[in-house]
Structure 1
């Protein structure tokens, strides 16, 4: 990259320029506002010291360079809310405080390169944001599969961005059709079959008109099967045949429907374990896993935590300042809900009635985790209802545990408006475990 550095401190000049050149960048140094004013060059990236020569003259320099640099970074010993807000208003893309280190500069360079580089790979990375070098390398490899109709299987925990990645793959493919999303966990077995394959009028109770299935809607496009592991086995077999033949029969119809679609599927559950248990077909797995892409959890992508914090701050019209202790708390948090949780937390922060946020203002899940640990350490003090003990003695502990699972799952499911994914996430269950317990619930209700 062609980089401008506007800085009059000789020590900062040496440290910053040495690091930038070490990374292979072309650097132009300016030590005064006058020097910059006399220069008309354009740059990929500009580093601007706000405290150059006199207090905050760097803001004038920012106004001067904003149209001549693709990515503008300001740095200062000041961290007041008003200064940060003003810099962003004038067109800054990033704001870092002195003193800074190599880690923060490295993260910043990655963020800038994603937006500056205009290749298709960078376009993908612009939509699917990451600064993690390992993940970026995987995405570059994934690009070789994008233009084909080969199936792609996306694996990774909830909230890492599998749906976003699927949309980006479709967007960058040569397919002329639609991106059609089906969340397999949101429908009952019968409704899921109708959702995917469609149905004809009168196929079942309530089918008062024909319905075009998502397979047909995805003709010449992409069918994205989210939460794949929750698909019932008989539907897995029907889907396998549809993928192989590029044709299928809607529910209640004897007329074959043709559709040339590409399949991208995603799950947070371990399919190899489900195959061993017999709840997922190995032949369907091999058909869908033409290319398998694993999106790692955010806790294993520390540079991305930093990236998303800055990205959410930069996108917001309201500018706030995170104090160092608050920033460190966010950076070192485990983010069990991954990107989805981080974005939600940042939204709450940006809506606080404060311009400067400290650690005490954050209410992360660590407090809940601590309560769980304390509860576990005092388990001998819990008051277990006598009838629980009597039931366990008569029917066995395993049976008691199963009854408690059924009770909790059933009432949580009702409380969450019968949303499978929301209930499973809340209870820390895989989709497969959810359906196993729910099957017992239905059996218990039928036996009554």
Structure 2
């Protein structure tokens, strides 16, 4: 795998920053010494012996950073020059060095936006570190700006971000189909952003009603019909009053049926009738009610396989499968990783009230090399954890890597359980159930968390744990 293009580098030996520096230093020996140390850090460096020469060079070239020595006899000259630059709207970063210990002088410089102020004698390493720090900051600002420009076309699609070819194609299809009333099926692994795609379709559909989402795998079979269609008072035990269903609240809008593959067969039959006749019948009602609701369904598994095993109605599948959108997993769109990481860092930092996360070249390389079983949702969680800790934790991927089976189920079993048994002596169904039970114990019995880590729904986990019980 090739390294990512993200490139604020950490040392001068790796590569120069693509910036220009102007060094203003009167004393020749110090000027040459600074030039020697700063030259490897940038693509272009010019020197000047005084402010007059510096101003002439500034008018001729663009500089990203100016390192100025304030003359001992007339320190105001450099400060006044900076004030003159700021009045012209020139915000070039400036670092001052001086033998003058006046606190007032330092405060004037900092008020004018100087990024650093060093009083002689100072170590050369201090100046080099300050220059590196500022150039890295500017490099990150430049890349953030470029990434925003490249991705600004996708910000309008309700949070869908990306510049990879797969995301561009997905967004093009969304724009084309959004104004139509057609039913849409969205497929993709857990955490890829299927609900974001559904919301983007609704946002661009110009439908006047609301976007209503429901997870079909999170509601019991008994309650799902009432949740979708509503019920009359007395329709069943504890039905003490009339209640409208989600179809009612999504009138003229969009109803998003997440985890449609977990819907029980009896409910699939009623949903098929609704799609065909554009009507619903609340539980306990005799009359059908017309509805004008667009259906968008989503699944983290291939429904055609569920059809073959009899777990999903074939006629409903073809009714939903008018157009299928596939949301790519993060490992297939690594070009978007830097953009997504920065977006989450920016938005989550604002929500949490903490500083944004500076991601180094090494951090981005680590993110690029990870296989992301939890996709964009996992990336968001890792960035949030990193923001809270102030850095990308060294062990942030270890747990997910250890719980992901390798292509060989025997190897995976030995790695996960760390038992000295012969895996071929255990039936596959028992091995799967043992793995699920082990994962549940890792999550202290939290089934929702275990299902999230396994990439399946809570309902699927319950069903698999019940097999042959």
With normalisation by structure 2, the TM-score equals 0.65
1:255–1:65: structure 2 CA closer, same or farther, 3 Å change rule? farther
Aligned to 1:133: 165
Aligned twin of 2:452: 425
Name the SS for the 1:223 alignment partner. strand
Q: Is the 8 A contact 1:198 1:251 kept in 2?
A: yes
Counterpart of 1:95 (choices 138, 141, 156) is 141
Q: 1:329 aligns with which of 366, 374, 379?
A: 366
CA separation of 1:410/1:344 partners in 2, compared to 1, >3 Å: closer, same or farther?
closer
Q: CA deviation at 1:170?
A: 0.7
Aligned length: 363
Task: Give the Cα–Cα distance (whole angstroms) in 1 for the partners of residues 183 and 245 of structure 2.
Answer: 19
Deviation at 1:113, TM superposition (A): 3.0
Q: Are 1:180 and 1:224, in contact at CA under 8 Å, matched by a contact in 2?
A: yes
Quick check: 2:19–2:135 contact (8 Å CA) kept in 1?
no
Match of 2:210 in 1: 178
Find the aligned partners of 2:165 and 2:65 in 1 and give their Cα distance: 33
Tell me if 1:350 matches 2:387.
yes
Deviation at 1:180, TM superposition (A): 0.7
- Find the counterpart in structure 1 of residue 40 from structure 2: none
CA gap of 1:110–1:198, structure 2 versus 1, over 3 A, is: same
Q: Residue 368 of structure 2: SS of its match in structure 1? A: helix
Task: Give yes or no for the alignment of 1:239 onto 2:271.
Answer: yes
Q: How does 1:346-385 map to 2 (within 5 A)?
A: 346-352=383-389, 354=390, 357=391, 361-366=393-398, 369=401, 382=419
Aligned residue number for residue 168 of structure 1:
200
Q: How far apart in 2 are the matches of 1:436 and 1:164?
A: 28
Which sections of structure 1, spanning at least 5 residues, go unmatched? 1-5, 10-14, 16-30, 37-47, 67-76, 97-104, 385-391
Cross-structure match for 1:310 = 342
Distance 1:94 1:415 in 2: 42
**What's 2:98 paired with?**
none
Structure 2 Cα separation of the partners of residues 179 and 132 of structure 1:
27
Report deviation, 1:287: 1.3
1:201/1:135 Cα in 2 relative to 1: closer, same or farther (>3 Å)? same
153, 156, 165: which is aligned to 2:188?
A: 156
Which position in structure 2 is the counterpart of 1:225? Answer: 257
> Whole-Å Cα distance in 1 between the matches of residues 226 and 388 of structure 2?
42
Structure 2 unpaired stretches of 5+: 1-17, 22-42, 44-55, 70-81, 92-127
CA contact (8 A) 1:216 1:258 kept: no
Tell me how far 1:244 sits from its aligned partner: 1.2
In the alignment, is the contact (CA less than 8 A) between 1:7 and 1:32 conserved in 2?
Answer: no
Compared CA separation, residues 300 and 402, structure 1 to 2 (3 A) = closer
Provide the C-alpha distance between the structure 2 equivalents of 1:270 and 1:383, rounded to a whole number of angstroms.
35
Change in 2 beyond 3 A, CA 1:178/1:79: farther
Matches within 5 A, 1:33-112: 34=59, 50-51=64-65, 64=89, 83=134, 94-95=140-141, 109=146, 111-112=148-149
Pair 1:309–1:52, CA change in 2 (3 A): farther
CA displacement 1:261-291 (0-9 Å, x = unmatched): 0011111011111011011112111111222
Q: 1:403 to 1:171 in 2, by over 3 A?
A: closer
Measured on the aligned residues, the alpha-carbon RMSD in Å equals 4.4
| Cα distance change of structure 1 residues 248 and 161 upon mapping to structure 2, 3 Å threshold | same
Q: Distance in 1 between matches of 2:249 and 2:417?
A: 57
Q: How many angstroms does 1:413 deviate by?
A: 10
Question: What is the Cα deviation at residue 300 of structure 1?
Answer: 0.8
Taking the aligned partners of 2:168 and 2:215, their CA distance within structure 1 comes to 27
Kindly name which structure, 1 or 2, has the bigger radius of gyration based on alpha carbons.
Answer: 2
